[in-house]
Structure 1
């Protein structure tokens, strides 16, 4: 072969290999690779810090932190929580106190201005997105190798499928989420079980069975609309949607649902499943079984109807049912009523349950990585928020002061301490007076820890949900880049606003379900097809 030809072929071959390596390298960076971020050794970090180790800084440290201040248990600088954190970890927390109602807005201003504290808790997945491109918050997934308690729970509890939804187009995630050992179903419906028994029914297991009970209630008590809901009906739509094969209400999210059979996303509120769900609830309204005011009344109005015996079914969670029962004892009298959380009814796609093992979590300011005590900061967060000891401490407080623990491991609040009705005789509140079990620190943990503050009734509900329901895993993520995300948001915002309005109109009968095709055309005119096409293009990429 001619020498010049051999040289030419060699050059082409070399360029091909080089191009392949560059692409591979690029793709590795794009997906976050398996590369560990380099972190300078901190003199105040614990040497050889590992799973289950107590973190305690060698010298006293101060870390800055935002604090979402709840009006029911406002921040107190002399809380035992803060005193004990200092004692156990040698860390002071310099708090930026923000009223809960202003937290999201003021947090954004602090981050955008570059003045954010290092630790930014109470961040729900998705709220970090506006700050990713600017580089003002840390891609924390680069640093989790320095957090052994966090990593252990991710692996042991099979958290990875849920983390996929947190990742951005660079393959990294920017929020350290709260981690639960299992999915925690909380919201459902409360029902007057005394009325159910009086009418000769068992507890409903499907939405159709619930309708049968509502019909019987209406016949027996014609002056009452049996189902009058709270939370603008958004909670009920959320829990019902999963069993109808769609998403709605609080769970509408992007309004995109993953079609596994075709490996693509569809616009959920345009599907037959969504129409079927709306048809069901409109039927309840049409028969006088569901109060039209459910979508407009404030919570106090809905609760007042229920506790006064003017309705028999309402949305609830583990805390509100305690409140209902307390009010009903005062109004109706003990022994004159009985209520219970029902297992979320099954629907057309069966006995299924949505949910996540993740909870709100922590963003870390990007400037923290330049602090000489950055490694100690990561260890501190790992111990307080993710170790078994730290999670028990944040939830229950100090053994011998706020609670005691028996030889069987069961925790009991101290005689003078109350929390969510666990010890009604207690004169001090675990969260108000001591700072424990507050939303900035206490979330996530083992199922045993979660159940430790539940009533027997709530534990029974949790176990029944897990025994009778099949868990639906989260949809795969759509990893938009900054420009794609902006385009997606511009398309989705008016679409979702329209869907929320139309959903209520269909349920109430203000929009005729026979005109469903007109509704679909309105969605198309608003860019639904472009929105879905963009999502699938990014997903396939």
Structure 2
């Protein structure tokens, strides 16, 4: 088995989870683990060698789309009747599984479900500062602006709104745009247009009137000193310092940041309270919703060369069983956790997810397919658990994850990349005031001239295969 090893909980060959799996399944592993930073290189070398391990755990679907149609991995659907637990899960979760399908209609990667909840993000704010100033959490654009102004008045040296991860991919716009009634999809799964489930149409958000309205707003905040001036370049450490030093009070990030900041800052400031803020509805067509962020594409692929196919399929099928999900979430009954009369479980020795992973190997790459996220929630404070549960109420539908055939992929790699690069550059200029909004119509024409219609067409053709597979 080849697996990535996360730097925050590096693989250990004496992990509890390895003994657990061996006890319940009689599987004995020969594991090659590679740090996530070097995993792609190792994977490419492994694929080039032609000597594949029985199982490879992959994060993302790029390698699946590249090597699966070449025959490197089995098509899971050809063996579904050998896996009763997986078959039952698949029949109940077919729409979710379609996110893992390849352009040739095959399913090469076993879909993970549950751990992706750890990626959930949302608006976060300093509730203690709001209380100090008598401020209410904003619910729309005007209230949001007014709150930033009042924060600036109270803390003149501050920049009330801060973002991180804007550099390069402008990542936070993925989260922000839907609340303005538009989309910005610039993520690693090669999607550039957004899908409207009501109209059944694909549209390109960054040329829409709503997108212009959004950029004008953030440019205004930038010009008035309400937005952190280096939001396009600040790294994670710099962003952490800004929040911790009370230089900024509102941001977007992973909900787990609530515990990250509160646990450390309350050692010196007991009142410090980083909290979840329900998403405001921005703009004329805005909604009080947030882009679906509890997502990820993870899971095993099985080598088509394996000499242990029946054993491999039996093992993975166990991971889709109720027993497998239970054990790979909590461990052996009552061993690592306490259970209250109402069924609520708490870890005996772990108060942070990282500690649980480091010490047991539970919830680490290669040791889950289905996961009960209550296992990680049990490491959260009540504040963070409540935030996670509340945030689920504001989810928009997950955007489709598309798989392109060779011809479509060529369009993505050429026209798509050119559009992506150009749009990111121009968005940055608009937000910083380096390009006038008077030139917006010219900008739209410039984007269209790069071949946007062809990019839209491949989204439509790719998604048509998803719909056909769903109906089938």
Would the TM-score normalized by the shorter structure come out above 0.5? yes
Query: For 1:264-313, what per-residue CA distance to the aligned partner results, in whole angstroms no more than 9, with x for missing partners?
Result: 43333222232222222222212211112111011111111111122212
Deviation for aligned residue 1:443: 6.1
- Change in Cα spacing, 1:250 to 1:325, as seen in structure 2 (3 Å) is farther
Q: 1:147 aligns with which of 83, 107, 120?
A: 83
For 2:177 and 2:370, the matched residues in 1 are separated by: 25
For 1:137 and 1:182, the matched residues in 2 are separated by: 23
For 2:247 and 2:15, the matched residues in 1 are separated by: 42
Query: For 1:393-448, what per-residue CA distance to the aligned partner results, in whole angstroms no more than 9, with x for missing partners?
Result: 22333344432334433222224x44348xxxxxxx32223222324324643465
**Residue equivalent to 2:468:** none
**Residue equivalent to 1:17:** none
Q: Is the 8 A contact 1:162 1:356 kept in 2?
A: no
Moved more, 446-455 or 279-288: 446-455
Please identify the structure whose Cα radius of gyration is greater: 1
Deviation for aligned residue 1:537: 5.4
1:286 aligns with 2:286: no
- Taking the TM superposition and a 5 Å limit, the aligned residue runs for 1:100-139 are 100-139=36-75
For 2:417 and 2:435, the matched residues in 1 are separated by: 21
Deviation for aligned residue 1:146: 2.8
**Residue equivalent to 1:20:** none
**Residue equivalent to 1:501:** 425
**Residue equivalent to 1:359:** 296
**Residue equivalent to 2:391:** 465
For 2:8 and 2:241, the matched residues in 1 are separated by: 21
Deviation for aligned residue 1:164: 2.8
1:405 aligns with 2:339: yes
For 1:392 and 1:326, the matched residues in 2 are separated by: 29
Q: 2:412 aligns with which of 472, 488, 507?
A: 488
**Residue equivalent to 1:169:** 103
**Residue equivalent to 1:301:** 238
Q: Is the 8 A contact 1:255 1:269 kept in 2?
A: no
Query: For 1:335-362, what per-residue CA distance to the aligned partner results, in whole angstroms no more than 9, with x for missing partners?
Result: 3x32212123333332334327753322
User: Normalising to structure 1: TM-score of the pair?
Assistant: 0.77
Q: 2:382 aligns with which of 456, 459, 462?
A: 456
Q: Aligned to 1:178, what secondary structure does the other structure show? A: coil
For 1:272 and 1:99, the matched residues in 2 are separated by: 44
For 1:438 and 1:540, the matched residues in 2 are separated by: 34
Q: Is the 8 A contact 2:347 2:379 kept in 1?
A: no
- Change in Cα spacing, 1:420 to 1:232, as seen in structure 2 (3 Å) is same
Q: Is the 8 A contact 2:116 2:296 kept in 1?
A: no
Q: Aligned to 2:28, what secondary structure does the other structure show? A: strand
CA RMSD for the aligned pairs? 2.9
Q: Is the 8 A contact 2:3 2:33 kept in 1?
A: yes
Q: Is the 8 A contact 1:478 1:539 kept in 2?
A: yes
For 1:207 and 1:251, the matched residues in 2 are separated by: 26
1:246 aligns with 2:182: yes
For 1:455 and 1:444, the matched residues in 2 are separated by: 24
Q: Is the 8 A contact 2:119 2:294 kept in 1?
A: no
Q: Aligned to 1:163, what secondary structure does the other structure show? A: helix
For 1:461 and 1:443, the matched residues in 2 are separated by: 25
Q: Aligned to 1:340, what secondary structure does the other structure show? A: strand
1:178 aligns with 2:112: yes
Q: Aligned to 1:349, what secondary structure does the other structure show? A: coil
- Taking the TM superposition and a 5 Å limit, the aligned residue runs for 1:8-27 are none
1:313 aligns with 2:250: yes
Q: Is the 8 A contact 1:126 1:166 kept in 2?
A: no
- Taking the TM superposition and a 5 Å limit, the aligned residue runs for 1:416-427 are 417-420=350-353
1:340 aligns with 2:275: yes
Q: Is the 8 A contact 1:319 1:420 kept in 2?
A: no
**Residue equivalent to 1:530:** 454
Q: Which runs of 5+ in 1 are unaligned?
A: 1-64, 422-428
- Change in Cα spacing, 1:418 to 1:264, as seen in structure 2 (3 Å) is closer
For 2:414 and 2:292, the matched residues in 1 are separated by: 27
- Change in Cα spacing, 1:363 to 1:85, as seen in structure 2 (3 Å) is closer
User: Normalising to structure 2: TM-score of the pair?
Assistant: 0.87
- Change in Cα spacing, 1:312 to 1:154, as seen in structure 2 (3 Å) is same
Q: Is the 8 A contact 2:184 2:194 kept in 1?
A: no
- Change in Cα spacing, 1:357 to 1:430, as seen in structure 2 (3 Å) is closer
Q: Which has the higher contact order (CA 8 A, sep 6+)?
A: 2
For 1:104 and 1:94, the matched residues in 2 are separated by: 20
Query: For 1:439-488, what per-residue CA distance to the aligned partner results, in whole angstroms no more than 9, with x for missing partners?
Result: 43246434655644443223322332344x3632534x766422332233
Query: For 1:61-106, what per-residue CA distance to the aligned partner results, in whole angstroms no more than 9, with x for missing partners?
Result: xxxx112112222221112221221122111111111111111232
**Residue equivalent to 2:203:** 266
For 1:356 and 1:187, the matched residues in 2 are separated by: 6
Query: For 1:111-133, what per-residue CA distance to the aligned partner results, in whole angstroms no more than 9, with x for missing partners?
Result: 24322322222322444111133
Q: Is the 8 A contact 2:215 2:431 kept in 1?
A: yes
For 1:500 and 1:449, the matched residues in 2 are separated by: 38
- Taking the TM superposition and a 5 Å limit, the aligned residue runs for 1:365-444 are 365-368=302-305, 371=307, 373-384=308-319, 386-415=320-349, 417-420=350-353, 429-442=355-368, 444=370
Q: Which runs of 5+ in 2 are unaligned?
A: 466-472
Deviation for aligned residue 1:518: 2.5
- Change in Cα spacing, 1:510 to 1:259, as seen in structure 2 (3 Å) is same
Q: Aligned to 2:166, what secondary structure does the other structure show? A: helix
